[in-house]
Amino acid sequence: MKIQKVWILLLLYVDVLLLFLCLPLRMKDRTREIQQGNLGEKKKIALTFDDGPHEKYTKELLDGLKERGVKATFFLIGKNVEKNEELVRRMYQEGHCIGSHTYNHVKLTSLSDEKACEEVEMSNEVIERITGQKVNFIRPPYGSWNDKLECAIDMEPVLWTIDPLDWSVLNTSSVVRHVKKKAKADGIILLHDIYPTSVQAALQIVDELQEQGYQFVTIEDIPKLNHFYDKANTPPVK
């Protein structure tokens, strides 16, 4: 009887010891699974594109995004929309989010309130004529925005958190490397779908970040707090 008690106590001791030894490993595995999105807790991130649509490169981008089942956000220049209505219609039909980037790509803060509103209204009109939906988001060219404009223009301004300066470097590998380094949950990636290097980079970014557990969403699914960036530490954007 005494021997049985000793064995029971010994087994309990071994169980407790194994529990304490294995617990850190289990926690480490759980952390890794969360980071990789294996527990259904994927990190959301948004791909956004300015200055389009472009007749050739936006089409290539839409093809690649459709193949991957990814939705993005496009901030369109009104005068480019008028030359590529079918592409805009396709964006809308395939579930992408469409916002304004003004009609002529102008710095809104350098204009009077009247002229600034005119630029946005002209852009919205051509987009809404195609989609039949109100345009709710705007990305001001050069990231130039202030509270005064917020009163005059009833739209939500969206800036970014990750800017690889794709329009300047024109190098696919460089853009991909920068975005991968800066990527984090609820991030907003800024690219331009008028350059072939940017389109190639965008599709590589999707492939590589998905492997890391990221889920690509439109700007509507990113917290509003992240719609702005730190101007003091961010270079100017085209």
Residue from 50, 51, 163, 166 carrying the catalytic annotation? 50
Note whether 96 and 121 are within 8 A (CB): no
Alpha-carbon gap, residue 65 to 109, rounded angstroms = 34
Which tokens belong to 173?
């590998």
Alpha-carbon gap, residue 74 to 219, rounded angstroms = 10
- According to DSSP, residue 195 is labeled S
The set of residues, in sequence order, having a beta carbon less than 8 Å from that of 139 and lying 6+ positions away, is 48, 50, 75, 99, 100, 101, 157, 158, 159
SS3 content of the chain, % helix, strand, coil (to 5): 55, 15, 30
Residue from 96, 101, 178, 192 carrying the catalytic annotation? 192
Is 178 noted as a catalytic residue in this protein? Answer: no
Measure the N-to-C terminal CA separation of the chain; round to a whole number of Å. Answer: 83
Is 51 noted as a catalytic residue in this protein? Answer: no
Q: Which residue has the tokens 């939500």?
A: 156
Alpha-carbon gap, residue 189 to 161, rounded angstroms = 6
Catalytic residue annotation: 50, 192
